[in-house]
Structure 1
Amino acid sequence: MLNILIVCNAGMSSGILARKMEDASNGEAKVRAVGVSEYQDKLENVDVILVGPQIRFQLNEIQANAGIPAITIDLSKYGIMDAEGILNDTFQFYEGAK
């Protein structure tokens, strides 16, 4: 099971996306969402970080601070809450980051 942490501005809309992604994963992923101000306290057992497009400028900082592979969520997929598409991107990225 892949443990995914979504980091966004406040964690609100990303919370909805996290639930949709977890449902779409058929048990293959655990997904949580948090605001950027609290992500450093939520890194235990996280395999990959997804950074919301609204804070994509913080991707390098988040990855450096966390020491965990991180990728920005595609803006078009985020906008329509394409949980399956974002999951596919995440699994592909994670396999390549190993």
Structure 2
Amino acid sequence: MKNIVLFCAGGMSSSLLVNRMREAAASIGYECRISAHSIGAVKSLSQEADVVLIGPQVGYLIASVKSVVSCPSEIIVSLNYGRMDGMKVLEQARGLMGEI
């Protein structure tokens, strides 16, 4: 089962997005774990991740995130984050993992 980990400024705004992503995954029968955390926890919580996505508000930290994670990582597309489009963000994660 794939582990998708999101990081944002405090972990709060991405919590709603995680719920939407879980709904999207369930609607297509895709089994995965999705969680959201504060960007401060990236070093300790990204080790088990298959993909790391960070919120646009902390996008300036992408270089430092990439330096500590061993999996694909990317900034969530701002439009999809703002719209809380769980399916689009799930597709972004799956694309980074080479699944679609």
Structure-1-length-normalised TM-score = 0.89
State the number of aligned residues.
96
The amino acid that maps onto 2:91 is N
Structure 1 unaligned blocks of 5 or more: none
Task: State whether structure 2 residue 72 is matched by structure 1 residue 69.
Answer: yes
Amino acid at match of 1:47: D
Deviation >2 Å, runs of 4+: none
Which protein has greater RCO, CA pairs closer than 8 Å, 6+ apart? 2
Gaps spanning 5+ residues in structure 2: where?
A: none
Pairwise CA RMSD: 1.5
> 14-23 vs 49-58, which deviates more?
14-23
The normalised TM-score by structure 2 is 0.87
SS in 2 for 1:61: helix
- Matched residues in 1 for 2:63 and 2:31: separation? 27
- Percent of aligned pairs with the same amino acid: 27
What is residue 7 of structure 1 aligned with on the other side? 7
SS in 1 for 2:40: coil
